[in-house]
Structure 1
């Protein structure tokens, strides 16, 4: 690569990017790609057009990555309410583990597996009213353990 090619490559990179650092990074990527191609035995007959095309492709790929990363960051930006809810959920789960095994199992079936009291009653072969009473007591114990007004 001669100085003329690098000068043109840098000028084009500055037009394609928003900062001198990004332009320099793109130039490095393209130069490395050219060197890797030559090392693998490929012969580049017209290096300047090849480098300009590679530069354009690298700039487009970088732009797509930036847009994707920005969208992901904006989409999953935690809010204060989310943090408070996460703390509360963590406390509830920790306190759930301290409950007696039958209460814990019953709450897990309802909360995590999505079973209804009637499904539980059928599965355990007990009346629905018994399941409802057990659930009420388990929830009351959990509320007392966590120290909040209502759970579930």
Structure 2
């Protein structure tokens, strides 16, 4: 194809590497061939491929910028890291509680069951469940070393 050198030169100006330029040229050629395979007649293939090249370069640039933003968000911040460490510590201390306290706290915290639902399920008054929860939370606070309620 006689247009490939010009197409490649344009692609090289749009990208930072020869490999990326080759990919863009390939995408532009594929776009032309697909269009012709679908019955379209391209009278001026070079302008068509240059436009396809520019669109492909723009799409790659947008994708790369989105990936950069996502990668920046993936790194934990210091607040996130300290919170994660604290949560790990709390979960470790939760495992040291008596089985009944541990089960009660896990049901309410992780299964998101309300104390009233739990009371109905266990056929126990809601006040009893609330008292047991309060004692279990107090034991967990003592184990973790927290002085105020959470």
TM-score relative to the length of structure 2: 0.72
Cα distance, 1:51 vs structure 2: 4.3
Determine the structure 1 residue equivalent to 2:21.
27
SS in 1 for 2:106: helix
Determine the structure 2 residue equivalent to 1:5.
4
The answer to whether the 8 A contact 2:8-2:22 is kept is: no
The answer to whether the 8 A contact 2:101-2:136 is kept is: yes
Determine the structure 2 residue equivalent to 1:64.
62
Determine the structure 2 residue equivalent to 1:90.
88
In structure 2, relative to structure 1, the CA distance for the partners of 1:73 and 1:30 (3 Å cut) is: closer
- CA-based RMSD: 3.0
Unmatched segments (≥5 aa) in structure 2: none
Determine the structure 1 residue equivalent to 2:76.
78
Give the distance between the partners of 1:99 and 1:120, measured in 2 at CA: 19
Superposed, which structure 2 residues align to 1:14-53 within 5 Å?
Answer: 14=13, 16-17=14-15, 20-21=16-17, 24-32=18-26, 34=29, 48-49=46-47, 51-53=49-51
Post-superposition Cα deviations, 1:35-57, rounded to whole Å, max 9, x if no partner, equal 9x99xxx8x99764464344223
In structure 2, relative to structure 1, the CA distance for the partners of 1:115 and 1:103 (3 Å cut) is: same
In the alignment of these two chains, the number of paired residues is 141
Give the distance between the partners of 2:7 and 2:25, measured in 1 at CA: 13
Cα distance, 1:91 vs structure 2: 1.2
Cα distance, 1:140 vs structure 2: 1.9
Unmatched segments (≥5 aa) in structure 1: none
1:149 to 140, 143, 147: 147
TM-score relative to the length of structure 1: 0.71
